[in-house]
Every structure is written in C-alpha cells, then in structure tokens.
Structure 1
Amino acid sequence: MTGQQHTHVAFFNWGDLTADHPEKMARQPFNKDNPDGPLELCTCSECGAALMLDDKERRIRVAVPNVMGYDDAAFPDATYHAFWDESKGYPKPSDGRPVYDGLQPSFTWPAGV
C-alpha cells in the first residue's frame, strides 16, 4: 500500500493517538477494494501530508512512521511481520520474527470508544 517492500506500522488504541487540529484532516477510504470499510486515511487538508489511519468504529488508530514523518527510531522494534503477500514476488522475511498474511492470530480488536 505504501509502494515499499516493507514498512513499520504502529497500532494504538483509538484514544491514545490524537490530532492537534482534527478539523483540518481530510478523510478518504483506506482500502480502494473496500471503500465502505472502517479505516480512513487522514491527510492534512492544507498540504496533503499523510497523518494517520483512523477507525470509524473508534477502536484503533495507526501510524506509519516513515511515511507520516514520525521519528521511526522512537517506535519499538517490530514483533512480527503482518500482511505478507507472496504474490508480490518478494522473499519471505527470514529475520526470525513470525510472518503472517494478516494480523497475528492473537490480535483482538479493542472495543470502540
């Protein structure tokens, strides 16, 4: 989705990641194949910068540090590989961390706010 072979993504409980000026965020569907899905890409309505992914059901918010201008070093090390898609032709990650085609099986969506 980012055009990169891999990227670091951080999930937050919905209320733990906020925007200083939510009224300045433009929202568009995150997944073109599921435009009515729960996730929206939030961008700055003034400059177009990607800010975060927001969940319309108020369960999670997501940051992609290297795409959204955050300090990648301030985020903890990834614990697993998610959404690995063998159809892209990339080799399966072999750094010892578990690899999943979606979120790790123990992931549970938090209740909405």
Structure 2
Amino acid sequence: MNLGENIPVVDATAVPEGAYLLDVREPDEWQAGHAPGAVHIRMRELSDRAGEIPRDQDVYVICRSGARSAQVTVALNNAGWQAANVDGGMKRWAEAGRPMVSETSMEPYVI
C-alpha cells in the first residue's frame, strides 16, 4: 500500500501498556477479539466520532492487518492528532502474545 505519506508505524510489541489504542475494525472483528482497553470506532464512523479521540496523547491505530489503520493514521495526523499505525494489526498483536478479550463466550481470535 502506498498512501503517498510518511506514516508513523509501531510494532504491536511496542505499544505501551495503557496507551490510547483505537480499533477501527468492523463489529464482528471487534467482538471476536480485541485488545483490552482499546476503543472501538469503525473506520467509516471516524468523521462522526472524531471528537471522542483525545488530542492530548498519542493515538495508536489498529485494524486486522494494518491497511485500514494506516489510512486512519494519515487522516488523524493530517487533522492534528499524533497517531501511529500498529504494523501488522491485530494479526501481529495476537502473534506477539499481547492480551486479547472477546465480546463472546469464545476464546478471543482475529477474523
């Protein structure tokens, strides 16, 4: 993917505990498994809900593989936030053994 931008990127292992983690995936992806404490705002809802995203701290943006979150990272940075894309998304998060929870009775997993 080439968005023509220099996109700040961080590996899933480098996202600080307690950081503002913005998950931009669809509801079924979120329900299957997400990082504890992450905030869920679907990519398509971003313009309507941008006011919910804090401007006084770094924002780490995550999706399944990193493509959607890269687009959101560019948009946020262009609008004045300090955002970084979580490289590899939730797939990399799970591979790295980072904690996950689900909104179902099943073990968390990445769709």
Flag the structure with higher helix content: 2
* TM-score, with length taken from structure 2: 0.29
Q: Answer with 1 or 2: which has the greater Rg.
A: 1
Flag the structure with higher strand content: 1
* TM-score, with length taken from structure 1: 0.29
Higher RCO (CA < 8 A, seq sep 6+): 2
